[in-house]
Structure 1
């Protein structure tokens, strides 16, 4: 796995140079996280695809400022693609990252004929209690997030270490991201999406329950729907091998 920067964007990649014969998979992290969330996908899928995972502006190795809306984050994806000379990508986003993917599919359908939505929804309301915790006791919030979002069977030191590495150390990005999620709502527009979409949900996801994926699958015309059994909100980390195999099968 390679760590790199271009035009103020930090990212990780599976190859030094993309293979023009392979699809480009671009992974987009969730709220308060960074590109390291996708380490197991960037490395594990590198023999099948050109793989990239981006730090959104103001996160980890990417320059700021933070983007205050999901739509602004989607524009940052387009800027990164131009900077990295990626004419086409298959965007794959989890939670807030999935919201970014939905914005890309709705705003720029010709550029994204295929996409992957992971543990996300068409509307991502945030409880005031969660935002208050992030603003006033971020360390306690992070500890509770691990126990809330990860099922007991997957609360291993390895999963905790991977999640810690993928989480922003300061709370400012998380506050920005959760506020952006709270404003996000494309529910009335899902039927406009014509791209081929893989929807991945997790059986024990409390943050974005299965019904969120069911709705996406029902309203978007051209979908494949898969459920990662036994996993919570962070299924790409909790069950990386199964998650990766599902993507390979889709393509």
Structure 2
């Protein structure tokens, strides 16, 4: 795609994502979490004025900038996509938010100390969750908090991996195993909550808005991008509906 074509597809998909959420609940990038959920999770992690927050795999930093604007924390976001970070920097500048936004692959986790580490909607992509959690624990100050969302379930079968686009980024884990990994990294689980039903409803809404966006993106790579989103989201809808996968939010503290 040319730059103009890519920008057109991005605008169409962004509108589709915004329409899929109730007013004021879109966090500014592809996600199943709402603004209210992000703010609630940040509150449980005791984010407030002056809190040093590290946001891993932040994407365009929609949730992170929202938290920073709402709660007055000190914010650093890291993502492997230079394009996403460039968008995040432009958005931070438009909003007058002071934020450090870096291009970087995780792991390694940037050295701290940080008061809070966020990892939203991306735990799924890490096959070795134990190593990641150890890195997060090392980056936290004593008493620091880790807040994340996690997709819970048995690993995908070969047949399921064949159906899911980008299956190399889909690594499910049973909740007891994940919580045990959190504890073994030196983090004490303070709270976790089930958000499966809410995220199932959101996925269904996204399926509808992506389907409506298909004719607007034109032909070629734009159509392929929408087709991939529809395929993956329809699978998520089935898996969340049937509880093949459950979604949880988790807050843990470094002892």
Per the normalisation by structure 2, the TM-score is: 0.37
Per the normalisation by structure 1, the TM-score is: 0.38
Q: Which has the larger radius of gyration?
A: 2
